[in-house]
Structure 1
Amino acid sequence: MSYSTEERGNPNTLTYRLFFKNSEGKYISPFHDIPIYADEAQNIFHAVIEVPRWTNAKMEIATKDPLNPIKQDVKKGNLRYVANVFPHKGYIWNYGAIPQTWEDPGHKDDDTGCCGDNDPIDVCEIGSKVCARGEVIKVKVLGTLALIDEGETDWKVIVINVEDPEAKDLNNIEDVRRLKPGYLEATVDWFRRYKVPDGKPENQFAFNAEFKDKDFAIETIKSTHTFWKDLVSKTNDGGLNCTNTCVSDSPSCCSKEKAQAIVDATCPCGSADPLPSSVDKWYYFEKN
């Protein structure tokens, strides 16, 4: 199955949306309709890229909007951009999410002692290619980091595109440590400090900021898939929008025509606004 995207609204504005279509041309939800597995027997997962590497716009699957298009996060009425905290320029991986997963805010994790953050599980794709926003790739899992973000468990799964030239040599978290020295340490540093320019304290981690291995990460993903199954099967979705077009046993499954109407109700694609000059600013902090 292949996927395509359709832009609506004006890039770099509050109107911007990126909708998804399947190979049949039907609008779909990247949260609910793209299968979690690309190859279940080999534990190969799909990943939806929200933020290409080196960019700053905090784009994300809109979990509360019909069909869950990608849009830019907003805080106090303003579009959010991740600051450049020296030496990191924007996001240092292709950042995205695994579809059909959900970190349940009503479930306290036995290992972290914190509940989920109410989002699909996040991935940091570390391959050589800079992906496109909305690109759907097949990834293998290498390990995971347990970020505690404002008291919530926010897993960051380290993955690599199976089509990447380096994929054959990267099979577990220790391979990343050996073949990409400094990358895991930079990942911890990025997540620890990226909110500091906003006046917030450094983020904390479970497991003393140590990465858990591939097997642990895969089991974590599978548990979030179970939570998603419970979410999409209910009519009371806890504030999230479960509108989909392919999950036939879901009460929120809608017709092709209704999905078309959802997209038609948004603004047509227009010209992009310029990025604010503040996006290029650098921040410097001593590490605690």
Structure 2
Amino acid sequence: MSFTVEERGNPNSLSYRLFFKNAEGKYVSPFHDIPIYADESQNIFHVVVEVPRWTNAKMEIATKDPLNPVKQDVKKGKLRFVANVFPHKGYIWNYGAIPQTWEDPAHKDGDIGCGGDNDPIDVCEIGTKVCSRGEVIKVKVLGVLAMIDEGETDWKVIAINVEDPEANDFNNISDVQRLKPGYLESTVDWFRRYKVPDGKPENQFAFNDEFKDKDFAIKVIKSTHNFWKALISQKTNAGELNCKNTCVSASDSPYCCTVEEAKAVVGETSPCGKEEPIPSSVDKWFYYERK
């Protein structure tokens, strides 16, 4: 199963969008139409790469927009870039999300006591390759970190691309600790401090800042898949989320989007144009003393 992307608007601008197509050239939603599993029997999952490693633009699946294209997050009318909090440059993994998952805000996790963050579950892919924005990869899950972001549960799955040359060496979170010493500690440090330059407090974590193992992570992913199933079948109120899709819903579902309707959604956006310059401030370093 393969997917391609179509750029619309000007890169590095408010108009930029990245729409997805399946192998038949049909527009699809990366939130709803791309299957969660690449191989269910082996617990191999698809991941939509939103942010390639070392980059700063906070790109994300637009869960409230028709067809859910990838676009850059906006804060106070300006494009959002994560700061370089020393010693980290941009994102330190390929960062993305598992399709057909949803962290339900109404569900308070039994271990943590907080509701979900209303997004697909996040993934940090730790392989050697720097992926491309919009690339759909197949990963095996290694573990998970439970971040508490402004009172919401925001799981961070640790995974590796099955096509990575090192993939056979990584089968659980203990392998990351053994073969990439310091990487998990840096991951906690990154998530703890990345919002501080924006004037926000440090993020907190459940389980004493410790990563849970592969089995725990897969259990969490499957629970978010069940929340998504309830969402797409209208058993849960979608709120502001846009659940339009071209492949999942039956024709009598209000969420069903025809090929023509999907083309019209894309057609309403601007054609891909000239890339805008990235603000020079994005390359600045932010320093502050750890508490």
Task: Report the TM-score range of the alignment, normalised by the length of the smaller protein.
Answer: over 0.9
Aligned match of 1:274 = 277
Instruction: Compute the displacement of 1:87 (Å).
Output: 0.3
Alignment of 1:100-249 (within 5 A): 100-234=100-234, 236-249=237-250
Deviation digits for residues 113-170 of structure 1, max 9, x if unmatched?
Answer: 1000000000000000000000000000000000000000000000000000110000
**Amino acid in the other structure paired with 1:261:** A
1:258 maps to 2:258: no
In 1, distance between residues paired with 2:160 and 2:261? 36
Task: Report the identity percentage.
Answer: 81
Aligned to 1:148, the other structure's residue is in SS state strand
SS in 2 for 1:46: strand
Q: Give the superposition deviation at 1:234.
A: 1.4
Moved over 4 A (4+): none
SS of 1:48's partner is strand
Q: Would you say the 8 A contact 1:234–1:251 is kept in 2?
A: no
Which amino acid in structure 2 is aligned with residue 100 of structure 1? Answer: Q
Corresponding residue SS for 1:260: helix
- The alpha carbon displacement at 1:238 in A equals 1.1
Matches of 1:18 and 1:136, distance apart in 2: 13
Aligned CA-pair RMSD? 0.8
Q: Distance in 2 between matches of 1:165 and 1:248?
A: 37
In the alignment, the residues of structure 2 paired with residue 6 and residue 207 of structure 1 have an alpha-carbon distance, to the nearest angstrom, of 41
TM-score by length of 2: 0.98
User: Structure 1 CA distance, aligned partners of 2:79 and 2:274?
Assistant: 17
**Contact 2:62–2:71 under 8 Å retained in 1:** yes
Quote the residue 2:6 is aligned against. Answer: 6
Q: Secondary structure at the match of 2:230?
A: helix
Name the structure 1 match of 2:90: 90
- What is the number of equivalent residue pairs in this alignment? 288
The residue aligned with 1:69 is 69
Q: C-alpha separation between the residues in 2 aligned to 1:229 and 1:223?
A: 10
> Which sections of structure 2, spanning at least 5 residues, go unmatched?
none
Distance 2:240 2:18 in 1: 21
> Cα offset for 1:251?
3.3
**CA displacement at 1:271 relative to structure 2:** 0.5
- CA separation in 2, counterparts of 1:274 and 1:117? 31
Q: Give how far 1:222 is off.
A: 0.1
Partner secondary structure for residue 154 of structure 2? strand
Q: Contact (CA 8 Å) 2:232, 2:249: kept in 1 or not?
A: no
